[in-house]
Structure 1
Amino acid sequence: MDLALTKQWITHWESTRLQSYDDATGTPLNPGDTPKGNPTIGVGFNLVAAGAQATIEALGLDFNAVLTGAVNITPDQVDQLLTITINSAIAGATKLVPIFDNLPDIPQMVLTDLVFNMGEPRFAQFVNTLKFINAQDWTNAANNLQQSLWFNQVGRRGRGDVAVLSGTSTPQQILAT
């Protein structure tokens, strides 16, 4: 899989934040704030996910200071967190699609984005989509995704994933918009 393209693809949809923010509102967190959604940092790194505290501390940071927005992370730390999260998404995608390692780069990128965005448990509920993916039937997999509630919730991201999975667009065409 083209890790650089996958990072670019996911960053395109998630954006990059050096300060923790509320993923429900997009607003930066400050000490004392109570977020409505998940406190997040970097490129969609969920600070309340299992293992998040240990990951932040492994970067040499004070977890509570990062969580509350009192301390920002660096671009290098953003990249480290993104790599960790993408690797976790790849592991989840591999569980759901046993042939993942044998797929072309573009479907691997889309599957990684889907697991990154939804999480493995939620994407596991896309039984028909997964059936089409395992059969490498990209048109029906894309059509099935397009019929989902997820597709309507995520807007441009869903349209992008469907377009590149179906082969009607390339990632480069969508990233240029």
Structure 2
Amino acid sequence: MFIEGECLCCYYDTENIPTIGIGFNLQRADAAQVMAKYNLTLSNVLKDCQDKTTTHCLTDADGKDLFDTMTYPEFEACVDRYAPGLPPVKRAAIIDVALAGCPKLKKYVNMLDALNKQNWKTAADELRNSLWCKKVGKNRCDSDYNCIAGQFVKN
């Protein structure tokens, strides 16, 4: 949640996908049903994106609920299928990468190979050299890199 950021109103992510809350893709097949759970109409939420308005938004509690019950569990499952049995810190970093989409994560075959061999530095290097790192910026990339490589800064 800290790294991805939270926006309770519709916004366009780095791939120009309408998104709400903490990385919830509004182009999903079930988006209308999910928005209805929070008393929102998908068409109104998407209109906010188009018009850059903030009329149809999640509440803070709804945003956290959406992340806890749908977004995070979905990406946990994605990572566990992609690279089962990762140590918790490395798994958390890969979950962050998976927020860009499970199909995109599956394209990182060299990183997966390194993760499976527990070659953490190579896996981290594969991530650092990815388009994902270029899109999300140095701070987020470095954070995930350090988690995967096992290089932590001590305060």
Name the TM-score, length of structure 2 as normaliser: 0.83
Ranges in structure 2 where 5+ consecutive residues have no aligned partner: 49-54
Residues 62, 115 of structure 1: CA spacing in aligned structure 2 closer, same or farther, 3 A cutoff? same
CA RMSD of aligned residues (A): 2.1
How far apart in 2 are the matches of 1:18 and 1:152? Answer: 25
Query: What is the aligned counterpart of 2:23 among 29, 35, 44?
Result: 44
Task: Flag as ranges the 4+ runs of structure 1 deviating above 6 A.
Answer: none
How far apart in 1 are the matches of 2:72 and 2:21? Answer: 13
Query: What is the aligned counterpart of 1:162 among 133, 136, 145?
Result: 145
Ranges in structure 1 where 5+ consecutive residues have no aligned partner: 1-10, 25-35
1:96 corresponds in structure 2 to: 82
How far apart in 2 are the matches of 1:71 and 1:158? Answer: 32
Residue 101 of structure 2 is aligned to residue 119 of structure 1: yes
2:134 corresponds in structure 1 to: 152
2:91 aligns to what SS in structure 1? helix
How far apart in 1 are the matches of 2:56 and 2:94? Answer: 33
Is the deviation greater in 130-139 or in 53-62?
53-62
How far apart in 2 are the matches of 1:37 and 1:144? Answer: 24
What is the identity percentage for the equivalent residue pairs of Structure 1 and Structure 2? 29
Shift of 1:62: 2.4
2:3 aligns to what SS in structure 1? helix
Q: How many residues align?
A: 147
Shift of 1:136: 2.0
| Superposed CA offset, 1:58-77 (max 9, x none) | 23332222332331211111
Amino acid of the residue matched to residue 19 of structure 1? C
2:9 aligns to what SS in structure 1? strand
Is the deviation greater in 63-72 or in 139-148?
63-72
